[in-house]
Amino acid sequence: MTDIVDILNRLGIRTENHGVTTGTASWEGGGALNESFSPVDGAKIGAVRQAASEDYDRAVEAAALAFKKWRSIPAPRRGDIVRQMGDQLRERKHELGTLVSYEMGKSAQEGLGEVQEMIDICDFATGLSRQLYGLTMHSERPQHRMYEQWHPLGITGIITAFNFPVAVWSWNAMIAWVCGNVCVWKPSEKTPLTALACQQIILSVLRDNDLPEGVSCVVTGGREVGEWIAQDTRIALVSATGSIPMGRSVGEQVARRLGKSLLELGGNNAIIVTPSADLKVAIPAIVFGAVGTAGQRCTSTRRLIVHDSIFDEVKTRLISAYGQLKIGNPLDPAYHVGPLIDRHAVMQYEKAVEEIRQAGGTFAVEPGVLEGNAYASGCYVSPCIAEVENHWAMVQHETFAPILYLIRYHDVDEAIAVQNDVPQGLSSAIFTMDLRDAERFLSHTGSDCGIANVNIGTSGAEIGGAFGGEKETGGGRESGSDAWKAYMRRQTNTINYGTALPLAQGIKFEI
Ligand code: UN1
């Protein structure tokens, strides 16, 4: 695709031979070649050489050196650098969004939306750079003052997934940067080119401001690189987004060295539809949540818990809505649903479908892998809806594909119990016009998820809120609100401006 080559060039990416980009320069990594294929048409987009352990070490050394300079720049000035990064992203929104769509397979609108999230987090981080507040306390001792400060942590390791190949990195990196940290990013090996495109943009801003490039390091590669980061005592915080098994492994390795980790792992997100729900609002929210990004968001709607009295109506409306979905090239705005990331993901979809059939589930909307010229990459599947029971193994597990599970309920307490009865706890929603149901759902005895919504779906979170979830989702919070605190170290300071030495708790110690 020549226009993709043109877009890559405009983003400063030479396809082939593009090396590991690290703190000090772009060079050829010593590791194996990682070829990137588009799930849109199966074409090879380019190849990126992965980092060997020496490359990784050089990157971390460059980052450690850059940290000394970066941390001494006042936070609002760091915020201004991040503002400039946002300006560059604004200018390249179309190119970068298109590359995201082409390399990852999400729709052009969603590709642009992803870059918009990056721009928004730059704005948020810029403002935040003047608001890294600590508290002051009243000391119990006379002529003493107590307060707390937030200091930079050091190197932040960022491990990201293919589904939001750049936005999730930016949530971490932009906040980490205004907090005074430097970043070492391991992007998904399935989407290395979008990562290198971002790196080019960031490096141009660092160079323009005469700052060391080690502020932003990218280390490409697979699981091994993730392990280097997890085990590296030079990396103060490891923020990892991806599957639960990946997060468990990273979390264990970081915990062993008593490092800090921030985990944003799988979801198993449900929408409850009560008898009073406004279905004009609920149906599109359910469909977008279930099939948007081909069901490959952490926040995708996987389970629909519907009251008995409206079950048949909701099912009929969904069948009709799914009948109108157009599946095809995500770069063409005529299509709603693009491909899965690769054939392995298609196999996972097929496996879940097979398990549903074996357990005795029935399909309200039939699954299938699409064939034909338009689907030559072999990555396109039909979004499907299955009637199941919540406790079945495949329903308890997150399959990254457009499979929506339909479950019946009789009373709202049961619906909330079913919604909570999974190992994950990321996002949740209720559609209701009943104040009691809504408040019950939002109360401490309601949803156990990090995100709980009323009359909007489970996906499409804004950057201003803290993003993340409970239980096996990992407990971390990224992006807005006070998520920045995870990227800094808190220091409590007590100052004695008197002439005596009173001890805390009234302890007497005289010499
Ligand atoms: C993710 O799937 O990892 O809420 C992130 C959403 C997006 C982010 C999802 N803003 O759908």
Residue 297 is encoded by which pair of tokens? Answer: 């968001």
pLDDT of residue 2: 52
Indicate the angle between helix axes 75-91 and 108-128, nearest 10 degrees: 160
Let me know: does 78 contact 180? Beta carbons within 8 Å.
Answer: yes
pLDDT of residue 1: 52
Confidence band of 24 (pLDDT split at 50, 70, 90) = very low
pLDDT of residue 266: 96
Instruction: Say what percent of the chain tops pLDDT 70.
Output: 96
Residue whose pair of structure tokens reads 């401001």 in the numeric block: 209
- C-alpha of residue 479 to centroid of ligand 1, in Å: 11
Residue 7 has pLDDT above 50, yes or no: yes
| Helix (H), strand (E) at residue 159 | strand 155-159
Residue 41 has pLDDT above 90, yes or no: yes
Confidence band of 21 (pLDDT split at 50, 70, 90) = very low
- C-alpha of residue 458 to centroid of ligand 1, in Å: 9
Other CB atoms within 10 A of residue 279 CB: 15
d(CA 223, CA 455): 39
pLDDT of residue 209: 98
| Helix (H), strand (E) at residue 61 | helix 53-70
Residue 28 has pLDDT above 60, yes or no: no
Any atom of ligand 1 within 6 Å of the Cβ of 451:
no
Q: Is 264 assigned a catalytic role?
A: yes
Any atom of ligand 1 within 6 Å of the Cβ of 298:
yes
pLDDT of residue 13: 79
- C-alpha of residue 365 to centroid of ligand 1, in Å: 25
Own/partner pairs, 322-327, CB within 8 angstroms, 24+ separation: 322/287, 322/291, 322/365, 322/383, 322/385, 325/287, 325/291, 325/383, 327/370, 327/380, 327/382, 327/383
- C-alpha of residue 299 to centroid of ligand 1, in Å: 6
d(CA 403, CA 304): 11
Any atom of ligand 1 within 6 Å of the Cβ of 162:
no
- Residue 399: alpha-carbon gap to chain centroid: 16
The overall average pLDDT reported for the chain is: 95
| Helix (H), strand (E) at residue 157 | strand 155-159
| Phi, psi angle pair for 423, to nearest 5° | -70, -20
- C-alpha of residue 87 to centroid of ligand 1, in Å: 23
Tell me the pLDDT tens digit for each residue of 442-458: 999 999 999 999 999 99
Residue 358 has pLDDT above 50, yes or no: yes
Confidence band of 29 (pLDDT split at 50, 70, 90) = low
Any atom of ligand 1 within 6 Å of the Cβ of 479:
no
The class level of CATH for 21-32+52-265+474-492 reads: alpha beta
* Burial of 378 from C-beta contacts in 10 A (0-12 / 13-18 / 19+): middle
Residue 27 has pLDDT above 60, yes or no: no
The class level of CATH for 270-464 reads: alpha beta
Let me know: does 22 contact 59? Beta carbons within 8 Å.
Answer: yes
Residue 120 has pLDDT above 90, yes or no: yes
Any atom of ligand 1 within 6 Å of the Cβ of 169:
no
Any atom of ligand 1 within 6 Å of the Cβ of 465:
no
In a mutational test of the pocket of ligand 1, which residue from 164, 166, 293, 302 has the highest number of ligand atoms less than 8 Å from its CB?
164
Give first-to-last CA distance, the chain, whole Å: 83
Residue 234 is encoded by which pair of tokens? Answer: 């030079």
Residue 148 is encoded by which pair of tokens? Answer: 């707390």
Question: What are the residues facing 301 on neighbouring strands?
Answer: 269
Residue whose pair of structure tokens reads 């649903």 in the numeric block: 337
Ordered by start, the domain boundaries in the chain are 21-32+52-265+474-492, 270-464
Instruction: Tell me the DSSP string of 448-499.
Output: -SSEEEESS-SS---TTSEE--EETT-S--EESTTGGGGGEEEEEEEEE-SS
Question: What is the radius of gyration, based on Cα positions, of the chain?
Answer: 24
In a mutational test of the pocket of ligand 1, which residue from 297, 426, 456, 473 has the highest number of ligand atoms less than 8 Å from its CB?
297
d(CA 452, CA 443): 10
Instruction: Say what percent of the chain tops pLDDT 90.
Output: 91
Q: Taking residues 345-370, report their average pLDDT.
A: 98
Any atom of ligand 1 within 6 Å of the Cβ of 458:
no
Any atom of ligand 1 within 6 Å of the Cβ of 297:
yes
pLDDT of residue 23: 41
d(CA 156, CA 181): 6
Let me know: does 235 contact 155? Beta carbons within 8 Å.
Answer: yes
In a mutational test of the pocket of ligand 1, which residue from 162, 459, 479 has the highest number of ligand atoms less than 8 Å from its CB?
459
- C-alpha of residue 448 to centroid of ligand 1, in Å: 18
Residue 15 has pLDDT above 60, yes or no: no
Confidence band of 20 (pLDDT split at 50, 70, 90) = very low
**Three-class SS state of 125:** helix
Query: Which DSSP symbol is given to 378?
Result: S
**Shortest CA distance to 171 belongs to which of 470, 474, 398, 468?**
468
pLDDT of residue 8: 84
pLDDT of residue 74: 98
In a mutational test of the pocket of ligand 1, which residue from 106, 107, 169, 298 has the highest number of ligand atoms less than 8 Å from its CB?
298
d(CA 483, CA 109): 27
Closest ligand 1 atom to residue 297 Cα is 2
Let me know: does 79 contact 180? Beta carbons within 8 Å.
Answer: no
| Helix (H), strand (E) at residue 351 | helix 343-359
Any atom of ligand 1 within 6 Å of the Cβ of 461:
yes
Tell me the pLDDT tens digit for each residue of 149-200: 999 999 999 999 999 999 999 999 999 999 999 999 999 999 999 999 999 9
Residue 487 is encoded by which pair of tokens? Answer: 């990227």
d(CA 422, CA 56): 38
pLDDT of residue 257: 98
Question: What are the residues facing 494 on neighbouring strands?
Answer: 146
Tell me the pLDDT tens digit for each residue of 57-102: 999 999 999 999 999 999 999 999 999 999 999 999 999 999 999 9
Let me know: does 281 contact 397? Beta carbons within 8 Å.
Answer: no
User: Which residue's C-alpha comes closest to atom 1 of ligand 1?
Assistant: 298
- C-alpha of residue 288 to centroid of ligand 1, in Å: 13
Any atom of ligand 1 within 6 Å of the Cβ of 163:
yes
- C-alpha of residue 296 to centroid of ligand 1, in Å: 9
- C-alpha of residue 433 to centroid of ligand 1, in Å: 26
Confidence band of 490 (pLDDT split at 50, 70, 90) = very high
Residue 22 has pLDDT above 80, yes or no: no
Instruction: Tell me the DSSP string of 222-244.
Output: SHHHHHHHHH-TTEEEEEEES-H
Catalytic residue among 264, 398, 472, 478: 264
Angle at CA 147, nearest 5°, toward 143 and 152?
Answer: 145
Tell me the pLDDT tens digit for each residue of 373-426: 999 999 999 999 999 999 999 999 999 999 999 999 999 999 999 999 999 999
Closest ligand 1 atom to residue 427 Cα is 4
pLDDT of residue 177: 98
Closest ligand 1 atom to residue 300 Cα is 11
d(CA 443, CA 140): 37
d(CA 326, CA 225): 38
